[in-house]
Structure 1
Amino acid sequence: MIRLKHVRFLAVVFCFVAITGCAVKPDNVTPAGSVCVEQPLFIDNGTYKIPAILVKPTQATGKPFPVVVMLHGTASQKNEVGGLYQRLAVALAEAGIGSVRIDFAGTGDSPVDYRFYNLTSAQRDVVSTLDYLTTLQDIDAQRIGLIGFSQGGLIAQLVATKDARIKSLVAWSSVSGNGTGVFQSFFDDYYAEAKANGFAVVKFPWRPEPLNFGLQWFEEVKANSSLQDLKNYHGKLLAIAGTADTLVPYESSINIINHAGTTNAELHLIKGADHMFNVLGSANANGLAEDQSTAETVLSITTYWIDKNL
């Protein structure tokens, strides 16, 4: 049974986020007209370095600004598909909100193989990032949020239920559930290989190189209890999903809302949106779709909600 207080079924609306761009910070000079500054980082988690991009708004308020940590999905990277996280970072900066987006182990600019990636390592990456952020004087450590896309949403849930620093949680097309759940077909195809070899070689149509899924990832997903543990999350919560998502059906986002311990939860179901919010020409395409209205709607909803709830 759905017990939601705030459920919105949305047709695609033309609600565009103004994107003016960030400056890359090689020194202490910020070009005129930039709404934000991007600072490339490598954050040490004790085992390897986490590639990250910290985005700070340039508008001066004299007060520390809130910050959102962005967690990408499977076989993606810190900017996310169609540059969605990069675009969101600029939109948030325009609202005076900072952000940091990271590469999990084995993706993007990560210096290690994907065999290092599992639910434990991913959570450690996020906590290491949070630890770093709380050392920065211009960031408000009492206003930190998480956003997770797909499997990144699962990692966000795992962290948010344990780390009191997280005040707001956003889940895009997010995985939810205990045990294998939506990963069952993935287990059917690759678990035996991982048990035999210690990892499974998995190819994705949008990546030139395969990823090596370690056996630990499979075992931790099997033992995962994130859905039942969501009762421990009492912060603010937003979930967005598409009704045409065939990879992670939108019912997964309903489960997140229904199991969370918070009373401040909001769900947006976007009619006709696929797993990636129609940002690509097709699910296997590398180029952007000509029509970005669905993706821009997601960016607008997310930016507005974070601005009001962080």
Structure 2
Amino acid sequence: MEHHITIRSGREELAATLHYPESGGEVTALASGERYPIVIIAHGFLGTRIGVDRLFVRAARDLSRHGYMALRFDYAGCGESTEDYGSGGLDSLIDQTRHVIDYALDIDCVDAQRLILLGHSLGGAVAVLTAARDKRVKTLVMWASVAYPFNDIVHITGKKVYEDAVQFGSSDYLGDSFQPVFFESLAKHQPFEQLRKFTGDVLLIHGTSDEVIPADYCFLYQKLFWLRPQGSCDKEVLFQADHTFSSAQAKEQVISHTRNWLLQLERSKREWNDWTI
């Protein structure tokens, strides 16, 4: 069962879609008293909750078939959400993500101890920055994640867009207006420096044919996650997969690897809980 909803985040209204496990819809879930893990999906730069070639729709529906709730949403100024994208910079994206977490944890059948944040591209950087400051995030999944927000986004927009914003006070990129504050906020946040504050488990997935965000970032992220005193980190590097996992094979791989890793994590934690000393 899928519900189209609106989530308030300050003055913004974020369009979102909530997926209930296929084993039971909202009424069944509430009546049974069972609590489910939830995966919140954060899209990338100027993306939408649908994803390129419906990637996030496919992922959310797959997860719902395996007992997960999934919540995918549009950041302000994207998809069907209100306001302008990037007007509050990266800080605003983090705040919006936290408001979505607020909404998710207000759902009666959600297990607050099994909240998973999945981010793609810039959404991956937002996810780790959110998790670093919000202890309600228990698990991270990062697909083709940005590592250097300023450099990576300027690489996407082109240097002239940034220079025009600084020189003229705003610049146009694909019909959206970007002000200097947006680029300043990108430079302020460093995921590699913040990730050690997150103590949960992490899955990294990246494609070898990603021409937007280097696959090398996946290895750097894993190395730094491994240096934490707590939390595991696994990675999957998908041969010939591009930035949006656009081929049928890449889609199947990124979704199945994510689902299987989450299910294995669930099994491992249940087995450890069964042990007594």
TM-score range, shorter chain: 0.7 to 0.9
Number of residue equivalences: 255
Preserved contact between residue 97 and residue 307 of structure 1 (Cα < 8 Å)? no
Structure 2: runs of 5 or more not aligned: 267-277
Q: What's the Cα RMSD here?
A: 1.7
Q: CA deviation at 1:133?
A: 1.3
> TM-score w.r.t. structure 2 length?
0.87
Q: CA deviation at 1:111?
A: 1.6
From 71, 74, 78, the equivalent of 2:42 is: 71
Matches within 5 A, 1:278-297: 278-279=246-247, 292-297=248-253
Q: CA deviation at 1:182?
A: 2.4
Q: Which amino acid aligns with 2:243?
A: H
Quick check: 1:180 aligned with 2:145? Answer: no
The aligned counterpart of 2:232 is: 264
Quick check: 1:57 aligned with 2:28? Answer: no
The aligned counterpart of 2:271 is: none
SS at 1:166 equivalent: coil
Distance 1:130 1:65 in 2: 15
Structure 1: runs of 5 or more not aligned: 1-36, 204-209, 280-291
Q: Assess, with a 3 A threshold, how the Cα gap between structure 1 residues 76 and 304 changes in structure 2: closer, same or farther.
A: same
Quick check: 1:46 aligned with 2:17? Answer: no
The aligned counterpart of 1:231 is: 196
More helix by share: 2
Matches within 5 A, 1:200-215: 200-203=171-174, 210-215=175-180
Quick check: 1:140 aligned with 2:104? Answer: no
The aligned counterpart of 2:182 is: 217
Distance 1:153 1:115 in 2: 16
Show structure 1 runs of 4+ deviating over 3 A. Answer: 183-187
Identify which of structures 1 and 2 has the higher relative contact order when contacts are C-alpha pairs closer than 8 Å and 6+ apart. Answer: 1
Once the two structures are superposed, what CA deviation does each residue of 1:259-284 show, in whole Å capped at 9, x if it has no partner? 223441101111111111134xxxxx
Matches within 5 A, 1:80-99: 80-99=51-70
Q: Which amino acid aligns with 2:68?
A: I
Q: Assess, with a 3 A threshold, how the Cα gap between structure 1 residues 214 and 105 changes in structure 2: closer, same or farther.
A: farther
Matches within 5 A, 1:152-191: 152-177=123-148, 180-185=150-155, 186=157, 188-191=159-162
Preserved contact between residue 21 and residue 65 of structure 2 (Cα < 8 Å)? yes
Identity within the alignment, %: 28
